[in-house]
Amino acid sequence: MNNGDIINVAEDFSRYPAGRYVSDGPYSGEQFRRLFLMPTLAQQREITIVLDGVRGYGSSFLEEAFGGLVREGYSSEEILSLITIVTSDPSLEFEVHEYIEHADTRDTV
Amino acid sequence: MKRCGRSERIYQIRVTYKRTKRKFRSKRKKEKQKSNTASYDHIIKAPIKLILNDENHRHNVLDFIEDINFFCRLKNKRILLDFSRTTHMYSGATLLFRAHICRIYNKKHISTTIKCKYSKVPKINEVLKQIGLLEILGQKLNRTPRHPDVVHWRYAQGAGALGEKYEEILGSYDGAITPALSEGLYLGITEAMTNTRHHAYPDQENSSYNEIPTNEWWMFSQEKDGELHVVICDLGIGIPVSLPTKKPNVWKKITSKLGGTPKDSIVIQEAIRHSKTRTGKEHRGKGLKQLTNVLANTKGGRLVLFSNHGCYNVREGDVSLFDFKRSINGTLIAWSLPIANLETAA
């Protein structure tokens, strides 16, 4: 991870995030969670994620990256207390919070 | 009888000579054509019009593709795709045809040789060159595509969700289309790419081609008459077949409402309807809803989604459904977005 506890998705991961699982593509939500979110949360460190600068975020990417943390065993409260989302699009932040709070429902088509 | 003058006689001799020469040339040309086609084991005639949203033309296109797949399974054969009578090639049907050719050539041991016979319409030959078909078949056309309808065709293919491919064929439209539209297109395209894997597991009973499914996709973009057309397709099992196993809850809702065997178009519509976002924000959505979200960002946009027999059409917010007799054995999504009146690059 670069820049301490700040992750800029476009710079540190990819400008083209897409897909849910690693098998979907190289820059999937699962890959992002494994590379950046899991190691930080495992150490109980606070983390700021900058979402700006990418082409776009598909729902499956966001759900798997952030909702997947709940399925990995972290509580919603714990995740929300450690992760800060920075974005110029408020609906993105809202969506991420929704995925964390309702991660058990995975009825995406 | 009046006797001819000298000049009249010379004229008649010239005319007779030219007629004989012409007849001889014509005979030679026919013989040459005959010898060219005679060396092929099978000649498959391409349809006059490659269109998917007309029942008759669609039938011809699918027959054409089915014939190619059938004859390519035979070993050590020479096949000629005869485009001589083709006059129109629309992006959807052309992409589907090219996808099948790519899949045939992606196999490691292909013993069949495929060549194509050029159309009498020069524009069609330019299209064949522009979409890279001639390159795949190892043919050369000494003609650079110049027609405005042809030069703006862009082509990409891949497997899985490869967002960077968006840049290859649509990156140049940055500035010519709004950022919201660009983002919407990106989400729609990457969602379609992701779905190729989820809709691509084997279903031998329902596949008329009996091919090994892959997670490959093929994409075209074309700028024409102030509109940007983007088409992406896969050769998977299609949304109506994948939905019952992938999303049993959604399928249960559909069947309880519409009965056990709903039409493909209705399944597509319901699959999109049940994938709305929980956030309630119009410009965000999840799953298949992301395919239609792009239309919310621009006026006059259209979406046509073909999956197996079904066709889901959105135009200016109005949804229309249609079911065709024959299945395309895959999913094809086409967006048409006006770009002329949007903010333009400096």
Can you give the pLDDT at residue A50?
96
Where is average pLDDT lowest: B74-83, B116-125, B172-181? Answer: B172-181
Regions of chain A short of the pLDDT cut 70? 1-4, 104-109
Can you give the pLDDT at residue B276? 54
Tokens matching residue A39: 């190691």
Q: How far is CA A14 from CA A29, A37, A51, A58, B173, in A?
A: 11, 15, 11, 13, 20
Q: What is the pLDDT of residues B302-314, one digit of tens each?
A: 999 999 999 999 9
Q: Which of B160, B182, B278 sits opposite A24 (nearest CB)?
A: B160
Q: Which of B189, B194, B198 to mutate to test the interface with A (most CBs of A within 10 A)?
A: B194
Strands B113-117 and B302-307, by their bridges, are: unpaired
Chain A residues close to B288, C-beta within 8 Å: 109
Q: Which of A20, A25, A107 sits opposite B162 (nearest CB)?
A: A25
Judged by CB atoms closer than 8 Å, whether chains meet at B287 and A20 is answered as no
Q: Give mean pLDDT, residues B174-186.
A: 82
Distance (Å, whole) CA A27 – CA A18: 6
DSSP string, B183-246: HHHHHHHHHHHHHHHHT-S--TTT-SS-PPP--EEEEEEEEETTEEEEEEEE-SS-HHHHHHHH
Quote the Cα angle for B74-B33-B121, to 5°: 90
The whole-angstrom distance between B160's CA and the closest CA on chain A is 5
Reported as a pLDDT band with limits 50, 70 and 90, residue B199 is low
**For residue B290, which residues of chain A lie inside 8 Å, CB to CB?**
58-59
Of residues B321 and A106, more confidence is placed in B321
Q: Name chain A contacts of B271, Cβ cutoff 8 Å.
A: 109
**Cα angle value B34/B37/B41 (rounded, 5°):** 135
At CA A95, angle to CA A91 and CA A96, rounded to 5?
120
Question: Which residues of chain A lie closer than 8 angstroms to B250, CB-CB?
Answer: 107, 109
Tell me the per-residue pLDDT of B111-151, one tens digit each, with 9 for 90 and over: 788 999 999 999 999 999 999 999 999 998 888 888 888 88
Query: Which residues on A lie below 8 Å from B272 (Cβ)?
Result: 109
Residues of B with CB under 8 A from a CB of A: 160-164, 166-167, 182-184, 186-187, 190-191, 193-194, 197, 243, 246-247, 249-250, 271-272, 274-275, 277-279, 281, 283-288, 290
- CA separation, residue A9 to residues A58, A108, B50, B162, B241 (Å): 14, 23, 42, 16, 35
pTM confidence score: 0.81
DSSP bridge pairs for B57:
none
* B248-265 pLDDT per residue, tens: 888 888 888 888 788 999
Nearest CA in chain A to B164: A16
Mutation pick from A59, A64, A94, A97 vs chain B, by most beta carbons of B within 10 Å, is: A59
Cα–Cα distance, B4 to B309 (Å, whole number): 73
pLDDT at B212 over 80: no
Q: Do A66 and A99 form a contact (C-beta atoms < 8 A)?
A: yes
Residue B181 binned pLDDT confidence (cut-offs 50, 70, 90): confident
pLDDT at A109: 38
Task: Give helix then strand counts, H and E, for chain B.
Answer: 12, 12
CA distance A107 to chain B (A): 7
pLDDT surpassing 90 at residue B273 = no
Name the interface residues of A facing B (CB cutoff 8 Å): 14-20, 23-28, 55-60, 63, 91-92, 94-95, 98, 102, 107-109
CA distance B93 to B99: 10
Amino acid letter, B79: I
Phi, psi of B157 (to 5 degrees): -150, 160
Nearest by CB to A24, from B197, B243, B277: name it. B197
What average pLDDT does range B282-302 have in this prediction? Answer: 70
CA A61 to chain centre: 8
Q: Which residues does chain B have within 8 Å of residue A32's beta carbon, measured at their own beta carbons?
A: none
**What's the gap in Å between the CA of A58 and the closest CA on chain B?**
6
Residue pair B71/B34 in contact (Cβ under 8 Å)? The answer is no
What is the chain A residue with the closest CA to B245?
A: A109
Beta-carbon separation of B194 and A95 below 8 A: no
Q: Report whether pLDDT(B277) > 80.
A: no
The pLDDT value recorded for residue A27 is 94
